[in-house]
Structure 1
Amino acid sequence: MTKPETLDWWADGERLFGTALGRLTDEEFDAPSLLPGWDRRTVLGHVARNADALCNLLAWARTGVETPMYPSTDARDRGIAEAAALPAAELRAEVLAATGRLADAVHGLPDEAWSATVRTAQGREVPASEVTWMRCREVYVHAVDLDAGVGFADVAEEVQAAMVDDVFRMWDRRDQVPDVVVFAGDREWGTGAVAVSGPLPAVTGWLTGRTRGEGLEADGGIPEVPAWL
């Protein structure tokens, strides 16, 4: 198998996250993010530890030795908290270092290993080629969460559309697809009774749980939708 089609999206996503990070001063790390309950430090700690967790999956694909993303949920949470507690300059450096480790793992993976089966933290078996898309979701959405002037309008439309596809797939797996049909330009998702329409960035923000539907239109108001991830 050749390398994943999402490699360019992933590289662009890492750059966009780096742009958001670079706009923040060290003193601004302590402020809230756009993700309820998480400050910017927690977002940064999560993104760093996620990179290392995905390195584990690529090591699994390369060696055939089962290497879970995280030893346990508690270990995941501790790792995020420990990173988030670092002095700002060290936290910034850790995010960049972890991103570099993931880049090395991606570019060093033999072509045949991309078809190896690995398992996500949610227990879903996927080919290793899905790892770059898993990272795309993290870096694009959390770049917005950092509230540093990056929004979904800064994300390529095809990436946003893929995110919305992902949301509906996740809902379908959990049998939680809401009774909506969503329109953004000439794109359409869902087959429900409630029509929601608006610009693609507004749709992406709403369906990924980052907004309450600002900028969208629907008869009877914007409905509540299930969580994505």
Structure 2
Amino acid sequence: MSAFADLPRSERLLVARRGTAYFAQRLAELTDDDLDRDTLLTGWTRRHLLAHVGYNAAALCRLLDWAATGVEMPMYESPEARAREIEEGATLSAAALRNLFDHTVARLDEKWRHLPDAAWQAQVRTAQGRVVPAAETVWMRCREVWIHAVDLDNGAQFGDFPDIMLQSLLTDIVGMWRRKNRGDGIVLEVTGMAPVAVSDGPQKQVISGPLASVVRWAAGRGAVGLTDEVPDPPPWL
């Protein structure tokens, strides 16, 4: 199975930029009034989602500044501050929200383009408390833009994702479940791939289907195109 982290940096950045363009395309198809409607995320309108995606880019910029300068700059002051920022952002005008997305996307891309080579391996800390190299920000942003394009709920599908995204998302999600002792007994049977057991315990629930369908289910975005009816997946973030 291919891994996103094994790609050259230029190719990883290309996947992130493709995801940004994909999200932007779906956003452009929405009218300003459409932004008031719900997403696939419980309790969030498209306004909330757009604010989150914009502020996430700004938060990643802080991690890149940390990597470049050595001065600690957390993604968010606290989980409460992050939630408050999103709630307040959702009250902005549609034009302001669209501008927030465009502006923060441009800033993040600029930070990536100008980050010194040595700084890509500088250690920073994610909002979940993981210590990772600054290079991880590219994968973090890929997850945001590709998955949240689907969350806009206006036609984006996991089947539109590059295979490298789907394969790496599956690895990421299973790894998260294992680290958090979740998903005991789950076996993922992806068409054309060897089965993946989440734990060493007895097999209790088999999830079968094409790669895009299995990843969509595992990411908590619904059971679409799976072989059988299945329960909700364990949370992974």
Question: Which category describes the TM-score, using the shorter chain as reference length?
Answer: over 0.9
* In structure 2, C-alpha distance between the alignment counterparts of 1:136 and 1:147, rounded to whole Å: 18
Counterpart residue number, 1:67: 73
Counterpart residue number, 2:5: none
- Checking the alignment, whether the CA contact within 8 Å between 1:4 and 1:129 is kept in structure 2 is no
Q: Does 1:189 align with 2:196?
A: yes
Greater Cα shift, 79-88 or 189-198: 189-198
**Offset of residue 185 of structure 1:** 2.0
Q: Does 1:119 align with 2:130?
A: no
* Equivalent AA in structure 2 for residue 57 of structure 1: L
* In structure 2, C-alpha distance between the alignment counterparts of 1:142 and 1:206, rounded to whole Å: 14
* Equivalent AA in structure 2 for residue 210 of structure 1: R
% same residue: 44
**Offset of residue 177 of structure 1:** 3.1
* Equivalent AA in structure 2 for residue 189 of structure 1: V
* In structure 2, C-alpha distance between the alignment counterparts of 1:8 and 1:75, rounded to whole Å: 31
- Checking the alignment, whether the CA contact within 8 Å between 1:3 and 1:111 is kept in structure 2 is no
- Checking the alignment, whether the CA contact within 8 Å between 1:4 and 1:114 is kept in structure 2 is no
Q: Please identify runs of 4+ aligned residues in structure 1 that moved more than 3 A.
A: 2-5
Q: Does 1:216 align with 2:216?
A: no
- Checking the alignment, whether the CA contact within 8 Å between 2:184 and 2:198 is kept in structure 1 is no
Q: What pairs with 1:146-161 in structure 2 (closer than 5 Å)?
A: 146-161=152-167
* Equivalent AA in structure 1 for residue 170 of structure 2: V
Q: Does 1:131 align with 2:137?
A: yes
**Offset of residue 183 of structure 1:** 1.8
* In structure 1, C-alpha distance between the alignment counterparts of 2:162 and 2:40, rounded to whole Å: 20
Q: What pairs with 1:164-183 in structure 2 (closer than 5 Å)?
A: 164-183=170-189
**Offset of residue 58 of structure 1:** 0.4
User: Paired residues, what number?
Assistant: 225
**Offset of residue 108 of structure 1:** 1.1
Structure 1: stretches of 5+ with no match in the other structure = none
**Offset of residue 89 of structure 1:** 1.0
CA RMSD, Structure 1 to Structure 2 (Å):
1.5
Q: Does 1:207 align with 2:218?
A: yes
- Checking the alignment, whether the CA contact within 8 Å between 1:197 and 1:203 is kept in structure 2 is yes
Q: Does 1:226 align with 2:237?
A: no
1:21 to 24, 27, 44: 27
Structure 2: stretches of 5+ with no match in the other structure = 1-7
